[in-house]
Structure 1
Amino acid sequence: MRNRFTPARSVPRSLMTVALLGLCLLATGWPERSDAQKQMYRWVDEQGEVQYTDQPPPAQLGQGHTRLNEVGVRTETIPPPPTEEELRQAREQERLQAEAARLIEQQKAADQALLQTYRTIDDLLLARRGRIAAIEAPIQAKRDAMRPEQEHLGKLHEEKAALERAGKAVPASLADSIAQSETHLRESYAFILEQTLKKGPVRQEFAQNAERYRMLKKLPAPTPSEMAGDPASNDPISCQGAEQCGQYWQRAMDYFRAHTNPKDEIAGPGLLLSWRKDEREDRRFALIWAQKSAADPVYLYFDLDCRERLTARPCSTEQDQRIRDGFRAAVTR
């Protein structure tokens, strides 16, 4: 009886070899690639040639490099460590940013305080006038206290002039009294000058506050009348060096004598005094040279004090103010 199954065809020897090899590999386990074998590094050597290795060279560890996978695709770029200069710049940038943030917060706090302190711009201007008036009050008090001393010095100079006209010698006691009186007046004017110099920072402070307040409140620019009443032209004039100060002092004396009577002038070291009186008003002019030490600037101060003769109240006319305002321009031209 014929066999119902046909004999199997013979398997080629090469296929059987491959199959057997596969079985052996499955039995023994396929070796896995390590992480180091999977990662590649691309770097440039000293000759400028691009190199690909599984480990970066020691000389390149401190520099930037690119990490590649097993098929050469970039997986990570490692930058070089920062230099000392870059670290310094980074620290300086951090400091500047922190300082800028601090100033912003400080300005916010100042703005809030400014708006809480002054409800309107008029309140701010009123506060400014109050601060200036607080400085001016001791100045007026000192002027009042000086008037008897000025009268006394005037009489001493009249006595000296009478003796000189008579051809007589001036006693040492009289000369000492004149010198002592001039010293007292010079010290008093030094106090007035010191007080007057305090006005400058007050004006500057309130000018900045007013400008900031207007910006925050979106107010229009100030009118000239709003900042009137205490012109900076009355402030002392400073000079440096013998040449400049000598020139300024000569111009100051010329200006002083152009508005006073030379016959009534009293001159002492760094001090000129003069009077101009009529039936209603008494005006006293003074020009002072003041310097605390050789290292400090010289200040030239022109003072014009007007009082009503009956009431001794302060008086001032437009002409008086023009004389005060013209002093700075005449000296510093």
Structure 2
Amino acid sequence: MLRSFLTFLLLALCTAPVSAKLYRWVDEAGRVQYSDKPPSITPSSGISELNKSGMVKTTPLPVVSKEEQEKKLQEQAQQKEQQRKDRALLESFSRPEEIDIIRDRRISIIQSAMSANTMRLQTATQHKERIEKQMSRLNKKNKPIPADLDTEYGLAKKELQEIKNDNKTKLIEIETVKAKAEEDKKRLVELRSPAPK
């Protein structure tokens, strides 16, 4: 096996033009291959280029899988996004206390919307209770509930639920604003701190 390889290599070197290159790689079946042209599909082990003496001239770089490439691209995108956020943070604030002011302003706007919801909730509840009284009177008299009244009742219940859901969402928003402010303050302190010598 070694003898036939040396014979092939000697012939390849003797017959090849001065500028010709020789490549070595391991195919998918695990066999070592030699050629003056690299394979059309790069094997997972990579391709080595040999010098005139048949020694490895360049060590093959491992072939990066599609998943690894995607992961690397994702990491680079995340790093770029973090750099953008850091720049914006440094340009917007000089002290952590300034972040608190913005946080409180945003929370105040959300709380104002919740106060408006409280008024709406009160009105919607009263409206629903009036409809329920009408329906109760009709039931006592064994009279059918008109379709339009039944529809109105359904809409009143739906409105109440939407207001309650909106308030729940706004409470989550407040917690998100608080968490984001704490995260930004911590990062700002890190960015503003002098680099260790």
- TM-score bracket, normalised by the shorter chain, equals 0.5 to 0.7
Selected match of 1:113 from 74, 88, 97: 88
1:122 aligns with 2:97: yes
* Contact 1:146-1:188 within 8 A present in 2 as well: yes
Partner of 1:26: none
Partner of 1:188: 163
Partner of 1:150: 125
- Secondary structure (helix, strand or coil) at the match of 1:119 reads coil
Q: CA deviation at 1:210?
A: 2.2
Q: CA deviation at 1:77?
A: 4.3
Partner of 2:57: 79
Selected match of 2:185 from 195, 200, 210: 210
* Contact 2:138-2:145 within 8 A present in 1 as well: no
> Structure 1 CA distance, aligned partners of 2:145 and 2:74?
66
Partner of 2:10: 56
Q: Give the gaps of 5 or more residues in structure 2.
A: 14-20, 25-48
Q: Where in structure 2 are the equivalents of 1:232-247 lying within 5 Å?
A: none
Provide closer, same or farther for how the CA distance between residues 100 and 155 of structure 1 changes in structure 2, counting only shifts above 3 A: closer
> Structure 1 CA distance, aligned partners of 2:150 and 2:75?
64
- Secondary structure (helix, strand or coil) at the match of 1:172 reads coil
Partner of 1:133: 108
Q: Where in structure 2 are the equivalents of 1:286-325 lying within 5 Å?
A: none
Partner of 2:39: none
* Contact 1:62-1:80 within 8 A present in 2 as well: no
Q: Deviations over 1:125-150 (max 9, x none)?
A: 22112222223322321321332221
Identity %: 15
- Secondary structure (helix, strand or coil) at the match of 2:104 reads helix
- Secondary structure (helix, strand or coil) at the match of 1:169 reads coil
- Greater strand percent: which structure? 1
Q: Give the gaps of 5 or more residues in structure 1.
A: 1-45, 69-75, 219-333
Selected match of 1:169 from 142, 160, 164: 142
Provide closer, same or farther for how the CA distance between residues 102 and 187 of structure 1 changes in structure 2, counting only shifts above 3 A: closer
> Structure 2 CA distance, aligned partners of 1:156 and 1:99?
56
What CA RMSD, in Å, does the superposition of the two structures yield over aligned residues? 4.2
Provide closer, same or farther for how the CA distance between residues 202 and 146 of structure 1 changes in structure 2, counting only shifts above 3 A: same
> Structure 1 CA distance, aligned partners of 2:143 and 2:117?
31
- Secondary structure (helix, strand or coil) at the match of 1:79 reads strand
Partner of 2:36: none
Provide closer, same or farther for how the CA distance between residues 207 and 155 of structure 1 changes in structure 2, counting only shifts above 3 A: same
Selected match of 2:2 from 19, 40, 47: 47
* Contact 2:135-2:145 within 8 A present in 1 as well: no
* Contact 2:50-2:56 within 8 A present in 1 as well: yes
Q: Deviations over 1:18-73 (max 9, x none)?
A: xxxxxxxxxxxxxxxxxxxxxxxxxxxx23689599x73339932355656xxxxx
- Greater helix percent: which structure? 2
Q: Which amino acid aligns with 2:99?
A: L
> Structure 1 CA distance, aligned partners of 2:5 and 2:168?
79
Larger relative contact order, structure 1 or 2 (CA cutoff 8 Å, min sep 6)? 2
> Structure 1 CA distance, aligned partners of 2:151 and 2:76?
64
Provide closer, same or farther for how the CA distance between residues 158 and 67 of structure 1 changes in structure 2, counting only shifts above 3 A: same
> Structure 2 CA distance, aligned partners of 1:62 and 1:151?
86
Tell me which structure has the larger Cα radius of gyration.
1
> Structure 2 CA distance, aligned partners of 1:172 and 1:162?
10
